[in-house]
Amino acid sequence: MPPLPLPASRRAFLESLAAGSVAWLLSARARGQAPAERKLGIALCGLGNYARGQLAPALRLTQHCELRGVITGSREKGQAWAREFGFPEKHIYSYATMARLIDNPAIDIVYVVTPNSLHAEHTSAAAWAGKHVICEKPMANSVADCNAMLAACRANRVKLSIGYRLQFEPHYRELKRLAREQDFGPFRKMTGGLAFTIRQRVWRIEKAMAGGGPLMDIGIYCLQAACMAADTSGEAHPTFAPVAVQAREHPKQRPDLFRDVEEGLDWRMEFANGATGEFTTSYNGGMDKFRAEAEKGWYELAPAFQYGGLKVTTSKGPPGVGMPPPSQQAVQIDDFARCVKEGRESPVSGEMGRRDMVIIEAIYRSIAQGGRRVEVKV
Ligand code: NAD
């Protein structure tokens, strides 16, 4: 996705912080407790586009944590980051020296932002160094890798969260509220898609690195939104899933480019209560939309999945969606820092990342079996 400008002063960020955060702080004060003031230290593992363009700026806005180290293949890049973000050079690690993080009490959390195929290795390395982990989506390239990551985090008693930034975004909080309170009735039909065009070879279109094509990278957002809308508890439970999926791969316009991953695909999700989701994802085109329909109305986002500027329309006119934060990532990261401080599980846990990989594997299995309906068992 093209990077969006980060608006905003710290003040604007604070003003627009999720009401929940403010309420938490006030209630802690009211109970006479000192709010947990100590900022946790974060080390970014992988200093590519997303780390540079989104996560590093977000970590200047977070209240509960800050950037204190990096894990990178380039010592020079690490030194430049250390100068820019004001942490000591001894907080620069390579992928091979990650185990030494165990001796660094200034780093509490490792944020894994490397290509998908490396998520499992880097998450496990961080866990064995005793660090809590945020891992970017998709959690890994297979359910088996997700299981290994969960086991490593359990064995070391560290928390694991996935970089599902939109779960904290006001338009999606409103979607979850509608799913729970059913102003329009329960959502019955979800549709939409996410697509952009890739014109040259990058790791995102190499199966060994990316695990798959656009489904792994961007279709996963549609899948997440559909589960949020279909889960009538409104809690976006981490193992809530469709009962079955069916999928069809798009014919390739550029088989030379998309050698071993799909260029695009359509899929259908079938939920236990009869609700359905029908989506498309592609690296050849442009689309960014999500719509949830119920008997008495509908809720639509377009664009639906960007870093900012989401637009909502509903059958009842503009809904009372809270002001979007200047950085979705700052809210997401701060929530995890609070989870660590308060000893609670992240709402976007490793179990949720694993759930999504189970669904994705079922979608690929359906394609491999000529579009057959495949049951999903999380
Ligand atoms: P990128 O290619 O820009 O960065 C990847 C980084 O990993 C680079 O710094 C690269 O040097 C490093 N790396 C380490 N070992 C490598 C290897 N063997 N091969 C290639 N690179 C290696 O990618 P990105 O766009 O920053 O994406 C990184 C991760 O973040 C992906 O998992 C992606 O899905 C995720 N992401 C999430 C969002 C979101 O909105 N949550 C947005 C973009 C990317």
Nearest to 209 by CA among 255, 296, 141, 162: 141
Give the tokens for residue 96.
Answer: 């091979």
Residue 19 lies in a domain: yes
| Identity at 170, one-letter amino acid code | P
Give the helix/strand (H/E) hosting 232: none
**Is 50 an annotated catalytic residue?**
no
Q: How many domains is the chain built from?
A: 2
Last residue of a domain, one of 149, 165, 181: 165
What integer pLDDT is reported at residue 365 of this predicted model? 98
Considering the domain architecture, whether residues 138 and 19 belong to the same structural domain is answered as yes
Considering the domain architecture, whether residues 192 and 318 belong to the same structural domain is answered as yes
**CATH code for the domain of 190:** 3.30.360.10
Considering the domain architecture, whether residues 359 and 216 belong to the same structural domain is answered as yes
Q: How far apart, in whole angstroms, are the C-alpha atoms of residue 345 and residue 334?
A: 13
Task: Give the C-alpha distances (Å, rounded to integers) separating 224 from 48, 169, 259, 355, 375.
Answer: 24, 13, 27, 10, 18
Residue nearest to atom 41 of ligand 1 (CA): 163
Which residue is catalytic, options 50, 93, 137, 172? 137
Give the tokens for residue 6.
Answer: 């980060």
Low-confidence ranges of the chain (pLDDT < 70): 1-36
What integer pLDDT is reported at residue 45 of this predicted model? 99
What integer pLDDT is reported at residue 37 of this predicted model? 74
What integer pLDDT is reported at residue 318 of this predicted model? 80
**Is 77 an annotated catalytic residue?**
no
Last residue of a domain, one of 139, 165, 191: 165
Burial letters 11-27, b for 16+ CB under 10 A, else e: eebeebbbeebeeeeee
Give the tokens for residue 62.
Answer: 């977070």
Task: State the distance from the centre of ligand 1 to the C-alpha of 26, rounded, in angstroms.
Answer: 37
Considering the domain architecture, whether residues 140 and 267 belong to the same structural domain is answered as no
**CATH code for the domain of 149:** 3.40.50.720
What integer pLDDT is reported at residue 323 of this predicted model? 85
What integer pLDDT is reported at residue 56 of this predicted model? 98
Considering the domain architecture, whether residues 208 and 357 belong to the same structural domain is answered as yes
Q: Which residues line ligand 1 (CB under 6 A)?
A: 46-51, 73, 113-116, 118, 136-137, 163, 165, 203, 217
Considering the domain architecture, whether residues 127 and 181 belong to the same structural domain is answered as no
Q: Report pLDDT digits (tens) over 215-252.
A: 999 999 999 999 999 999 988 899 999 999 999 999 99
**Angle in degrees, 0-180, between the axes of helices 143-155 and 119-128, rounded to the nearest 10:** 10
Rounded to 5 degrees, φ, ψ at 219 are -60, -30
Q: Report pLDDT digits (tens) over 250-261.
A: 999 999 999 999
Domain that holds residue 289: 170-324+348-375
Task: Output DSSP code: residue 4.
Answer: P
Q: Tell whether the torsion through CA atoms of 124, 128, 129 and 134 is positive or negative.
A: positive
What integer pLDDT is reported at residue 11 of this predicted model? 31
